[in-house]
Amino acid sequence: MAKEMKGIILAGGMATRLFPSTIVVSKQLLPVYDRPMIFYPLNTLIKGGIRDILIIVSPEYSGLFVNLLGSIFENYGVKISFKVQRQPRGLPEAFILGESHIDHHNVALILGDNIFEDDFSEAIKNFESGGQVFAKKVPDPERFGVVKLGENNRAELIKEKPQEWISDYAVTGLYLYDQRVVEVAKSLKPSARGEWEIVDLHNFYLNQQELKVTVFDGAWLDAGTHDSLLEAGMIVKEKGISKNFHPIIEEATKEFCEIFKNSIKK
C-alpha cells in the first residue's frame, strides 16, 4: 500500500525574464487562460490525492499568495501552508525548507510554472519508495536536464543541460521522492554556478537503482517567458486543460469568487 504523500509547490524567485509583468506580482499568479498559473500545479497534486501542500514563495509576494490561497480550500479537506524562500539556491532547497512539512513522508515537488496536459494521478497515488521523474521528448534537449533511457525506459544517465547530445528526453518539473530526499538534499554540494542541482538528487536514486522514469506524450508547458506564457494560455484553451480540474478546485474557486463578489457589493 502506498504511503501518504505530501506536496510542495516551488513558487519563489523574481521571474526577471517576465519583467515588467512580474515587477509587482509573482509569475505563478499571472493568468494562464482563465485562472492564475498556480492552480495548474495545485490541480496536479490534488488530483493525485495529496491534501497537505506547502507552497514556497518569495518574501516580496508572500502576502499575495496568502490572500488568494490562505483559506480557499479550508472547507474542502486541503491544507495549504506557506514557507518563505528569501534567496533561491536551487530546486533541492525546497526539500530542506520543507523538512518539517515532509515529516518522514513521501513527497511530490512540482514547479509552480509547469503545466501538464497528462493526468499523473495514478503515478502519484501508487508511488511507494525511491524516486520517480517524468520525461518528455523535446526538440531542444540542451536547454534541460535530460535522461538517457535504456530498455523498458530504464534510466541510464541523467545530466543537466549537456553540451553534447545524450538524449532528447527532458526531465520535467514534477518529482516524486521518498523521505530520504531531505537528508540527501542536505548532503549536496553546490555546482559551479553556486546552486544545489536537482539532477544530483536524481543521480542519488539512479545510483541506488531506485529511480523510475515515466515518459509521456501530452503537452508540457513551462510558462517562463512572455512568448511561452502566451502560448501556454492558447494551448490550455485549445486542449481544454482548464476544463479538467478536480472538483475540489472548481467548487472552492466558485465559493471564493462568490464571497469576493459579495464583499464588493457591501
What is the 3-class SS of 87-132, one letter each residue?
A: CCCCCCHHHHHCHHHHCCCEEEEEECCEEECCCCHHHHHHCCCCEE
The tally of CA atoms less than 13 A away on the side-chain side of residue 200 is 18
| Residues forming beta bridges with residue 171, ordered by sequence position | 135
Query: How far, in Å, CA of 1 to CA of 165, rounded?
Result: 39
Over residues 30-43, the pLDDT tens digits come to 999 999 999 999 99
**Is 90 exceeded by the pLDDT of residue 152?**
no
**Is 60 exceeded by the pLDDT of residue 1?**
no
Number of domains in the chain: 1
CATH of residue 50: 3.90.550.10
Categorize the per-residue pLDDT at 7 as very low, low, confident or very high, splitting at 50, 70 and 90: very high
The reported pTM is 0.94
Query: Residue 17 is inside which H or E element, if any?
Result: none
Over residues 51-93, the pLDDT tens digits come to 999 999 999 999 999 999 998 998 999 999 999 998 888 999 9
Categorize the per-residue pLDDT at 223 as very low, low, confident or very high, splitting at 50, 70 and 90: confident
Query: How far, in Å, CA of 203 to CA of 186, rounded?
Result: 15
**Is 90 exceeded by the pLDDT of residue 113?**
yes
Which three cell numbers mark 260? 469576493
* Chain position carrying cell 499571472: 30
The whole-number pLDDT of residue 266 equals 61
Categorize the per-residue pLDDT at 177 as very low, low, confident or very high, splitting at 50, 70 and 90: very high
The 10 Å CB-count burial string (b at 16+, else e) for 237-247 is eeeebbeebbe
The whole-number pLDDT of residue 105 equals 96
Do the beta carbons of residue 219 and residue 134 sit within 8 Å?
Answer: no
Domain ranges, residue 19: 5-265
